[in-house]
Amino acid sequence: MRSRSKGFLSSVAYHLFSSFLAVAVMVPFFWMVITSLKDKGAMLTVPVQWIPTHPNLLSFDKVIHLFRFDTALLNSGIVSVLATAVTILSAAMAAYGFAKIEFRGREGLFRIYLATMMIPFQVVLIPLFLVMKELGLINSFVGLIIPSVFNAFAIFMLRQQMMTIPNDFIDAAVLDGAGQYRVFRLIILPLTAPTLITLGVITFMGTWNDYLWPLVMLSDRKKMTLPLVLNVLNGQYTSDYNVLMAGALISMAPILLLYLIAQKYFKAGLQVGGIKG
């Protein structure tokens, strides 16, 4: 009886603590929403208005029309989608080679790949910029996307998943006359779909929110991505908190939508890291 009571109290304490954390996490987001619906200066009123007395969408209209957010959204969407596709394709092919194709020096080369994960991007920023300059890719979307070809974390993540696929599947396909391309396309990719989707969401979010690399590469305002435009907004409207919050909410919307669509794949996709390797 005592153990049952202790278990009940532990369950109540756990749910109370979880609820407290959930509320604490949601309060800033709620504050962003209500601030974006207020008039200029309403945020500084005393006492604090948790519910706007005259809610409106003027701040959203101001953001969209003054800063051409539609162009910035389109630019970020193009760069994020293409970078995600390039990352998934290149990482999947490299991971397949490291996981299922025997060749001399495979493990050593894979360790070198992993070692590059310890190099901060800021260290290679200037050399990478100089390479893009020599290739004539400055101020272009291609220059933003090319670094996505090499992603050590993506290769590691997919390799770990592919290591769990039994070689019997591949051997059976080879006996039926399938080549490496057909094995990769018809067996490996379908069996790693949850991990591919998880990697795609992570890559899309990282590219969508990336600020440093687009800042270095882009100078044309018509090609600027959303983080760059938000920075301009922050510089010119530091006191218009409603406009700043409206811009931030617009930038968050695609990420939230993508996560809601793909969240069921996250658990399966993120559990593969420690299965085999």
pLDDT in tens, 1-58: 556 666 667 788 888 888 888 888 888 888 888 888 887 766 666 666 777 777 888 8
DSSP codes of every residue in 95-145: HHHHHH---TTHHHHHHHHHHGGGS-HHHHHHHHHHHHHHTT-TTSHHHHH
Scan for tokens 């794949």, then name that residue. Answer: 265
For the chain, list residues with pLDDT below 70. Answer: 1-8, 41-48, 66-67, 235-239, 265-277
Length of the chain: 277
Position 268 scores a pLDDT of 58
Position 273 scores a pLDDT of 46
Position 105 scores a pLDDT of 86
pLDDT in tens, 158-178: 998 888 888 888 888 888 888
Position 277 scores a pLDDT of 43
Strands (E) in 129-202, as ranges, are: none
**How far is residue 131's CA from residue 185's CA, in Å, rounded to a whole number?**
33
Among residues 266, 150, 146, the alpha carbon closest in space to that of 205 is found at 266
